[in-house]
Chains A and B, each alone.
Chain A
Amino acid sequence: MSRRVARALFLLALAAGTAQDRPRRDPPVTIGGYRVLAADFHVHSAVFSAGALAPWDLVLEARRQGLDAFAITPHNQVWPARLGRWASRVLGGPRVLVGEEIRAPAYHLIAVGIERRVSWDQPASAAIDDIHGQGGVAIAAHPVADYWPGYDDRAMASLDGAEVLHPAAYVGSSARDELEQFYGRRRMTAVGSSDYHGLGRLGLCRTYVFAADDGEAAILEALRARRTVVRDRDGRMHGDPALVRLAAADGRLWTRDPARPADGLLFALSRIAGVLAVVAGLVFGLPSTVEV
C-alpha cells in the first residue's frame, strides 16, 4: 500500500514539475541596428567535463534560461561540445558554439568557435595563437590574481576578451576587484559567464552580444570587435561604452537578464512534493527485505 502511495506521489510530483518546466519566450531585441543576443560562453557538460547535465540537456536548459547562444567548454577537449552542437541542431536551438576550457596549471583560457582541441601543454600566448589559427576567440577564464602570472605581455596583447563577470565575483571578497583589474589592463571584450557545472544556474552571469545576426560567424565577429555589454546584479555595466549607453537608454535588454528564482504557492508546493516524493520512493519504493 505504502509503495503504491509513494509511486503515485512521485508520478504526481513528476507531472507537476514537468508542466512547470517551460522555456522562456523572449522576443528578439534589436538595438542600434544590432541583434542583441543573450549568451553564456563558459558552460560545462557531463561526460568527461565535470558538469551535471548532458550536452543535450544543456541545450534545453539554455532555452529555459532564455539564452540565444552558449558555448560548451569542456576541459582540454572539444567533443562534448560538438555533441551539444549536434543536439542543438536537432532540437532547434539555442545556438551552441564549440569551445574548450584550456585548463593549464598557470592559466585557464576559454576558446570559442574552434573545431580541434587546443593543447594545455603550452604557454597561454601559444594557445591563443592556436585558437586564432582556427578562427576562434580567446577569453581569459575567471582571471583572478592566482592566474595573472600565466598571462605574459605577449598573451595579454593577443587575448580577445576576459571574464569581467563570473559567479565568483559574488562569492569571494576580492574576486570582483581582481576580475575588473584584469579586464582593465587593456581594451578587450567584456564577457560575463556562469562557468556552469551544475551548481547555480546556467546563464547566471551572461554576455549581451551586439551581432549582425544570430549566426555563429556574426557572434564571433562581434566578440572580436568588442561589441558586448555585461551587467551584474547590482546594475553595474561593462563593455563598449557606446553600447552600454545605448543599452541603458533602451532598457529592453534587462528583460533578458537571468530569471530570479520562481516564487508562488504552486511552485513551493511543487518543490515540496518533489522532495517528499523522492523521500517516499527511497523509503517505500523498493522491497526492503535484505535477508541473506
Chain B
Amino acid sequence: MTAGGWVAVRRPLFAALLLGCTVSLMTVGTLSARLVAGGALAWSFVPLFEAASLALVGRGLSRRLSFSRTLDLFFAGRGAWSLALLAFGAAAAFADPLDVYGWAATVRAKSLLAVLLLPVAAWSIRVDLCFFRIVLDRTPAQAVRLLFVQRAVSWTASTGYFLGFASAPYLARMLGR
C-alpha cells in the first residue's frame, strides 16, 4: 500500500476497530478476538458511508491537500463519537444484561440516552464545522451547508443499511400507501 493509501485508510480502519471493540464489550464484557474482528467487519459500513459522503461533498474542495489527507483529517475529528461509543461499551461490560436491554427499551430510557448524547453531538458538530472551514477553506455558511449535506447522506445511508426492510411499512405509511 502506498503512503497516501495508508494515510487514507488508517483512521477509518481505527474507527471500525473501535466499533468492533464496543461490540465485544457489549457482548462478552471483554475484548474477544472473534467479536472485535466480527464487529469491526459488520459495522464497517459506518466509516465507509462517512468516507463516501465526504467524497461526495468534499472531493476537490481542498486546494492544498490530497483526498487521502483530507479523509485522514476528517476522521481525526471522530473523537467525540469514539469516546461516547467507548463509554457505552464500558458501561455495558459492567452492567447486568437485563439492565442493558432496558437502556433502549422504554421511551424514558431512550430520552435519557438522547439527552446524554447531546453534548457529544454538539462537540462533534463544532469539530466538523472547523474541519469544513479550515481544511476545506469554506466560509461559515458554506461549512454549515456542507456539514448538513454530509451528515444527511451518511446518516441516511447508515440508518437505511442498519434498519433494512424494517422501515418499509413505516415509509409506506408516510407515503400514504
Residues of A whose CB lies within 8 Å of any CB of B are 10, 13-14, 16-18, 20-21, 46-50, 52-54, 56-57, 60-61, 64, 74-77, 103-105, 120-121, 167-168, 170-172, 198-201, 204, 233, 258, 261-262, 267, 270-271, 274-275, 277-279, 281-282, 285-286, 290, 292
Contact = CB atoms under 8 A, between A and B. Distances in A.
B105 A172 contact: yes
Interface of B: 10-11, 14, 17-18, 21, 23-36, 38-39, 41-43, 64-65, 73, 76, 79, 82-83, 86, 89-90, 92-94, 96-98, 100-106, 134-135, 161-166, 168-170, 172-173
A13 B31 contact: yes
A179 B25 CA distance: 31
Nearest to A15: B33
A64 B30 contact: no
A199 B168 contact: no
A-B residue pairs, 6 tightest by C-beta: A48-B164, A17-B30, A200-B101, A75-B166, A21-B32, A201-B97
A43 to B, nearest CB: 13
Contacts of A54: 38, 41-42
Contacts of A74: 164-165
Contacts, number: 178
A18 B17 CA distance: 16
A61 B39 CA distance: 12
Given A120-B169, A278-B25, 11 more contacts: A13-B30, A18-B33, A21-B28, A21-B32, A48-B163, A49-B164, A52-B42, A54-B42, A120-B168, A200-B97, A275-B90
A75 B79 CA distance: 32
B101 A167 contact: yes
Contact of A279 (B86, B98, B170): B86
B93 A271 contact: yes
A69 to B, nearest CB: 20
A56 B35 CA distance: 10
Contact of A20 (B23, B27, B30, B164): B30
7 contacts: A52-B26, A57-B38, A168-B105, A170-B102, A200-B97, A200-B100, A278-B18
Nearest to B105: A171
B166 A46 contact: no
A98 B78 CA distance: 38
B23 A198 contact: yes
B168 A204 contact: no
A14 B97 contact: no
A259 B120 CA distance: 34
Nearest to A52: B23
Contacts of B97: 200-201, 204, 258, 261
Nearest to A55: B42
Contacts of A53: 23, 27, 35, 38-39, 42
A116 to B, nearest CB: 14
